[in-house]
Amino acid sequence: MSPSLTFRTGVRDVLPTVFGYIGVGLAFGIVAHTSHLSLLVVAGLSFVVYAGSAQFIITSMLLLHDPLSAIFISTFLVNSRMILMSTSLAQYFKHESLTRNLLIGTLVTDETFALAMNKQNKTNGKLSFAWQSAANVIAYLVWGLSTVVGAILGGLIADPTRFGFDFALTAMFIGLVYLQLISDKHLGMTLQLSVMAFVALAYYFLIGVMSQNFALLVATVAGCLFGMELKKCR
């Protein structure tokens, strides 16, 4: 990843993450197809809601005929981590106009957020509207198209997981967390490793007593507080 922040560099930087979107997007399309959602609903979920894991949950809740209110609450809970990510990311765009801030915010995802955090390690804490928009828009289009293609292929491919594509997303996060670990000079390796161990342990115990999405959120917040305290002690 080079320190350049142009639109073109944004396109190049986002390409490795595209595999994750294609793999999971196809999987979502296929799941949605087998859950009897029409192509229009799949496209609507991907292009309007645009929320990876939440889309899987919405699909299963639609299938179970859950009430609208329950679907809304679940979506909010699953996506509440977005509030944390957007608040973090927004600090890098304070100098941009409000409109540009809102545009960037509209298309932020786990992946483009993680990518941006890796990028700013290379650029002394700078990000640009052009770079972030390139990453956001490409991620958005690839996700939407993959889910639609998945829904069309749904009837044809019996088991897409056979080729290992479902692991693309996990692999991507492993790569991103590793790159974050070695390149965040501000926090340093030891502090980050301690925080990672704390989060993993917290998550491990929390998923026994609460839903996975809630555990993700609690472990994240607890990890941040743990990190703050640890930093003060050093």
Partner 1 sequence: MSISLTELWVILGCGAITVLSRVLPFAFVKSLNMPAWLISFLSFVPITIMTALCCESLFVAHAGHLATLNIANCLAAIPATLAGVLTKSLLMVVVVGIMAMAVLRYFSIG
Residues 80-139 that bind partner 1 (CB under 8 A): 80-91, 93-94, 98, 101-102, 104-108, 110, 113-114, 117
Minimum CB–partner distance for residue 147 and partner 1 (Å): 13
What does the alpha-carbon distance between residue 144 and residue 75 come to, in Å, rounded to a whole number? 18
What does the alpha-carbon distance between residue 223 and residue 174 come to, in Å, rounded to a whole number? 18
94-to-7, 85, 90, 129 alpha-carbon distances in Å: 19, 15, 6, 11
Give the pair of three-digit tokens for residue 179: 């790159």
Q: Is position 2 an interface residue for partner 1 (rule: CB under 8 A)?
A: no
Q: Is position 233 an interface residue for partner 1 (rule: CB under 8 A)?
A: no
Judged by CB under 8 A, the stretch of 25-33, 127-135, 139-147, 199-207 that binds partner 1 is: 199-207
Query: Closer to partner 1 at the Cβ: 86 or 145?
Result: 86
Give the pair of three-digit tokens for residue 19: 């595999």
Q: Is position 54 an interface residue for partner 1 (rule: CB under 8 A)?
A: yes
Q: Which of 6, 8, 44, 126 binds partner 1 (CB under 8 A)?
A: 44
Give the pair of three-digit tokens for residue 127: 């990000």
The residue type found at 113 is F
Tell me the three state secondary structure of residue 219: helix
**Do 199 and 219 contact (CB within 8 A), yes or no?**
yes
Q: Is position 158 an interface residue for partner 1 (rule: CB under 8 A)?
A: no
What does the alpha-carbon distance between residue 220 and residue 26 come to, in Å, rounded to a whole number? 28
Query: Closer to partner 1 at the Cβ: 11 or 207?
Result: 207
Q: Is position 148 an interface residue for partner 1 (rule: CB under 8 A)?
A: no
Query: Closer to partner 1 at the Cβ: 5 or 93?
Result: 93
Q: Is position 185 an interface residue for partner 1 (rule: CB under 8 A)?
A: no
Minimum CB–partner distance for residue 110 and partner 1 (Å): 6
